[in-house]
Amino acid sequence: MSSYIDIAVNLLGSALEPDITQIIQAAADQGVSPLIVIGSDLSESAAAIQLCQQYPKQLYCTAGVHPHHASEWQTNSKQTLIDLCQASQVVAVGECGLDYNRDFSPRPAQRQAFIAQLELAIDLQKPVLMHERDAHSDFLSIVSEYRPHLRGALLHCFTGSQAQMEAYIDLDLHLGITGWVCDERRGQELAALVPFIPKDRLLVETDSPYLLPRSMRPKPKSSKNKPEYLPYIAQYIANLRGEDPAEFAKQCYQNSLAFFNLSQQNG
């Protein structure tokens, strides 16, 4: 059986929260372990660290402020986040970035919180897990400025165009691909692009409970996506790339270990 790391799971503040133990176990049964729990704001990041302590080696987390919560970023947020990042369970700063699709926070506040987190990631020499939706040009100009000093930079749930993909690869970003690619309607463009992502820059993720792969048969009874479906997504991408699924899984696993510096933690 292949091993997988789900690099973006929204275990807290989502429909997955009531069944955490069962979800971790069901994922592990499919070879999916550890899971990386997303911290979307400062209090959720603190809660994510506590959760990781309850499931050592099975859970790691990010700590950061999602663009939806950027308006909550205050002068003391940076110090709070620095303190959170001292926990050994925190493997990346984020999820941070820009979301001009929902615009839940004003755009200037989004840019300010994003830049502050990139600076912090540079100071701490931690990788960043980033989000970008309908904000390519501002995102690109900000990340271009900081990329040379960042230890590692991952754009999770990439769903952009070919030109955007090329710009991100030129910047030496890692790209996270979700079950969006399995969507027979809106995933078509992405499906055509995934064969062109360099193999050492590709990570796979569910972003569960969102983005249930639409092509799964039989269709899961619940519309909730779960980390246990990651092997399905990875096999789907391997097929698109014309690669052996086991080889592809191995490469993604190694990419994830290296990006999040997990090899030491996992012994």
Please report, as ranges, the residues that interact with Zn ion according to CB under 5 A: 131
Residue type, 17: E
In angstroms, what is the minimal distance from the CB of 165 to Zn ion? Answer: 17
191: Cβ contacts below 8 Å, ≥ 6 apart: 181, 240
Residue 195: closest CA among 242, 235, 231: 242
* Helix or strand holding residue 58 (H, E): none
Looking at beta carbons only, is 132 or 228 nearer to Zn ion?
A: 132
Gap between the Cα atoms of 199 and 177, Å rounded: 12
Minimal distance in Å, beta carbon 131 to Zn ion?
A: 3
Q: How far is CA 14 from the centre of its chain?
A: 16
State the residue number with the nearest CB to Zn ion: 131
Structure tokens at 262: 């997990």
CB of 180 to Zn ion, least distance (A): 11
Helix H or strand E segment including 197 = none
Query: Residue 111 or residue 238: which is nearer to Zn ion going by CB?
Result: 111
Return the number of the residue (94 or 248) whose C-beta is nearest Zn ion: 94
Which one, 71 or 265, has the nearer CB to Zn ion? 71
- What's phi and psi for 28, nearest 5 deg? -60, -35
Least distance from Zn ion to the Cβ atom of residue 185, Å: 20
Measured from the CB atom, is 49 or 130 closer to Zn ion?
A: 130
User: Which of 225, 226, 169 has the alpha carbon at shortest distance from 199?
Assistant: 169
| Contact between 265 and 88 (Cβ < 8 Å) | yes
CB of 132 to Zn ion, least distance (A): 8
